């Protein structure tokens, strides 16, 4: 069910002259509802992030390599086709600095996401989208200053911290999913969320291919300028074009413990059909899937830059594009499989592809085998929209912002865990099995597969909101 349009009675925030005022109408300011879909916010923000993520890792690799005197770090790619001790030192430094940068914004991100998500249930989704995109904008400005002025790489952590203060990418993504939940029915929600994730895939593919060739041709600074321009566009679109999905936004204080209580009530307050056990177990499954997803993406670029693959920035761009292809393939996969299978079993198939892809990565020593792994993994990302949709159906419409802020926190914890585990494990296992972290990821993914299967078999009922929405 779509949200009321600006001309419909349900969208009015104030009465016409001469009519009696509604109870509480003084707390509802007039708002510009807009007409643009939230998908474009996600597309633009993720394009910028997908452009920056491998860009930052490669910049760290080449900058730190130059500092230690490693001669296999030319911008055109390649490395010494041998086990060079200095290469291992660069791999270790790059992994550790990636960890430090992510840690710098982690705790602040948890605080801000939990605060801002329930706030958006009252004031609308637009304010949070504007705040989060502004934070990402500040982060890319700091990155430009570091690259342009050759500042210490530690300043990249400052940019991450500024972004986390304003909600970070997890808050932007969580608010976008909450907006989709606001305007979708229970029966269409899984597909709508898969469509939103497909925007991640399309934007990621375009950014990765363009970024890989661009770095090789012109270096690092120009791609960062493009990321800046895109985030400025994202912020303006969220502020003036995005269609507000909360029917009647109200004034609400931002800094209040009430927002944290709303998150607590998701698990403590009884509701028809809502199960604390199901909420907790689906969040556990999502946490494990995202941990492996973020962790393997974190080390993939370093894995590809180093011996024996020795990829250049163009091949890294194609590899990153192949990673993002899984979002688009997942949408088609979900649409086809929903014709004959329940969502949970579609998620199980997705996890099976993910496990096999991780195993292929763990033994990949050639470009052909690495891209074979990417091909298998292109069928692996249906599981995340399925879990998000199932969680969304376990709470009512007035709790969507609180739920997705909780999911944003889980995503943040998963990102921290992934960075800490994989960026520490990867250099520690270089001497006996370089691809061991991927093999560990395949084993861990068996746990969410078991959790989702058990929940579906033990409680196959349709979610209770099917009759309420």
Instruction: Judge whether residue 237 has pLDDT over 80.
Output: yes
Instruction: Judge whether residue 133 has pLDDT over 60.
Output: yes
Q: Per the structure block, which two tokens stand in for 435? A: 């691809």
Mean pLDDT over residues 291-296, rounded? 92
CA–CA distance, 212 with 54 (Å, rounded to integer) = 9
Instruction: Judge whether residue 469 has pLDDT over 50.
Output: no
Q: Tell me if 393 sits within 8 A of 69, measured CB to CB.
A: no
Mean pLDDT over residues 264-287, rounded? 80
Condensed to tens digits (0 to 9), the pLDDT of residues 381-431 reads 899 999 999 999 888 887 888 888 889 889 888 988 887 899 789 988 988
At residue 15 the predicted structure's pLDDT band, cuts being 50, 70 and 90, is very low
Q: Residue ranges of the domains in the chain?
A: 39-75+82-245+273-467
Instruction: Judge whether residue 113 has pLDDT over 50.
Output: yes
CA–CA distance, 80 with 436 (Å, rounded to integer) = 22
Instruction: Judge whether residue 332 has pLDDT over 60.
Output: yes
Q: 431-455 as b/e, with b when 16 or more CB fall inside 10 Å?
A: eeebbebbbbbbebbeebbebbeeb
Instruction: Judge whether residue 213 has pLDDT over 50.
Output: yes
At residue 129 the predicted structure's pLDDT band, cuts being 50, 70 and 90, is very high
pLDDT at position 466, please? 42
Mean pLDDT over residues 183-208, rounded? 86
Condensed to tens digits (0 to 9), the pLDDT of residues 421-457 reads 997 899 889 888 989 999 999 999 999 999 999 999 8
Which carries the bigger pLDDT value, residue 239 or residue 119? 239
Instruction: Judge whether residue 24 has pLDDT over 70.
Output: no
CA–CA distance, 174 with 203 (Å, rounded to integer) = 18
Q: Tell me if 54 sits within 8 A of 208, measured CB to CB.
A: yes
pLDDT at position 7, please? 39
Q: What is the largest CA-CA distance in the chain?
A: 83
Mean pLDDT over residues 266-274, rounded? 66
At residue 272 the predicted structure's pLDDT band, cuts being 50, 70 and 90, is low
CA angle 362–364–366, rounded 5-degree value: 165
Q: Tell me if 434 sits within 8 A of 365, measured CB to CB.
A: no
Taking alpha carbons only, the member of 66, 44, 63, 62 closest to residue 140 is 44
Phi-psi label, residue 272: left if phi above 0, alpha if psi -120 to 50, beta otherwise: beta
What is the DSSP secondary structure assignment for residue 341, as one 8-state letter? Answer: S
pLDDT at position 62, please? 85
Matching CATH number, 39-75+82-245+273-467, of 2.60.120.260, 3.30.930.10, 1.10.10.10, 1.20.1250.20: 1.20.1250.20
Phi and psi torsions of 242, nearest 5°: -50, 135
Share of the chain above pLDDT 70, in %: 86
Instruction: Judge whether residue 229 has pLDDT over 60.
Output: yes
Q: Per the structure block, which two tokens stand in for 127? A: 């304010």
Phi and psi torsions of 148, nearest 5°: -70, -40
Residue 260, CB-side half-sphere exposure with 13 Å CA sphere: 6
Three-state DSSP at 160 gives helix
Instruction: Judge whether residue 94 has pLDDT over 90.
Output: no
DSSP code string of 233-260: HHHHHHHHTB---SSS-----SS-THHH
Three-state DSSP at 29 gives coil
For CA atoms 295, 161, 132, 387, give the dihedral sign: positive
CA–CA distance, 8 with 18 (Å, rounded to integer) = 19
Which carries the bigger pLDDT value, residue 114 or residue 272? 114
At residue 347 the predicted structure's pLDDT band, cuts being 50, 70 and 90, is very high
pLDDT at position 359, please? 96
At residue 312 the predicted structure's pLDDT band, cuts being 50, 70 and 90, is confident
CA–CA distance, 341 with 380 (Å, rounded to integer) = 16
Q: Tell me if 259 sits within 8 A of 129, measured CB to CB.
A: no
Which carries the bigger pLDDT value, residue 145 or residue 216? 145
Instruction: Judge whether residue 19 has pLDDT over 70.
Output: no
The whole-model pTM stands at 0.74
Instruction: Judge whether residue 81 has pLDDT over 60.
Output: no
pLDDT at position 273, please? 53
Instruction: Judge whether residue 286 has pLDDT over 90.
Output: yes
């Amino acid at each position: 069910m779509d949200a009321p349009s600006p001309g419909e009675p349900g969208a009015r925030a104030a009465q016409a002259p001469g009519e009696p005022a509604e109870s509480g109408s003084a707390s509802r300011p007039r708002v510009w509802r807009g007409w643009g879909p939230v998908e474009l916010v996600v597309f633009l923000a993720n394009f910028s992030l997908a452009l920056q993520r491998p860009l930052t890792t490669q910049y760290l690799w080449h900058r730190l390599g130059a500092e230690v005197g490693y001669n296999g770090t030319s911008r055109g790619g390649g490395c010494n086709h041998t086990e060079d001790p200095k290469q291992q030192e660069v791999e270790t430094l790059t992994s550790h600095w990636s960890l430090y940068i992510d840690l710098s914004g982690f705790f602040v991100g948890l605080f801000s996401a939990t605060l801002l998500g329930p706030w958006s249930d009252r004031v609308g989704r637009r304010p949070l989208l504007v705040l989060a995109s502004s934070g990402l904008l500040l982060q890319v400005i700091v990155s430009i200053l570091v690259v342009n002025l050759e500042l210490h790489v530690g300043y990249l952590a400052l940019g991450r911290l500024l972004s986390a203060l304003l909600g970070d990418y997890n808050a932007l993504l969580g608010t976008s999913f909450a907006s989709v939940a606001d305007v979708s029915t229970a029966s269409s929600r899984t597909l709508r969320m898969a469509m939103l994730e497909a925007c991640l895939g399309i934007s990621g593919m375009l950014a990765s291919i363009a970024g890989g060739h661009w770095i090789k041709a012109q270096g690092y600074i120009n791609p960062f300028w493009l990321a800046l321009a895109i985030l400025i566009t994202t912020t303006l679109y969220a502020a003036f074009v995005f269609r507000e999905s909360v029917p009647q936004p109200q004034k609400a204080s931002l800094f209040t413990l009430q927002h944290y209580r709303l998150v607590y009530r998701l698990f403590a307050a009884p509701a028809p059909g809502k199960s604390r056990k199901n909420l907790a177990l689906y969040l556990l499954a999502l946490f494990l899937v995202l941990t492996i997803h973020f962790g393997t993406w974190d080390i993939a670029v370093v894995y590809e830059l180093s011996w024996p693959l020795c990829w250049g920035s163009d091949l890294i761009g194609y590899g990153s594009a192949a990673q993002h292809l899984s979002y688009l393939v997942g949408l088609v996969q979900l649409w086809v499989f929903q014709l004959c299978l329940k969502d949970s079993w579609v998620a199980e198939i997705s996890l099976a592809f993910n496990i096999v892809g991780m195993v292929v990565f763990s033994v990949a020593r050639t470009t052909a085998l690495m891209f074979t792994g990417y091909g298998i993994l292109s069928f692996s990302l249906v599981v995340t929209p399925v879990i998000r949709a199932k969680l969304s159906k376990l709470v009512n419409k007035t709790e969507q912002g609180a739920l997705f802020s909780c999911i944003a926190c889980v995503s943040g914890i998963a990102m921290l865990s992934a960075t800490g585990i994989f960026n520490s494990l990867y250099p520690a296992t270089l001497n006996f099995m370089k691809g061991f972290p991927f093999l560990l990821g395949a084993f861990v993914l068996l746990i969410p597969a078991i959790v989702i299967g058990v929940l579906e078999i033990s409680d196959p009922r349709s979610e209770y909101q099917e009759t309420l929405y």
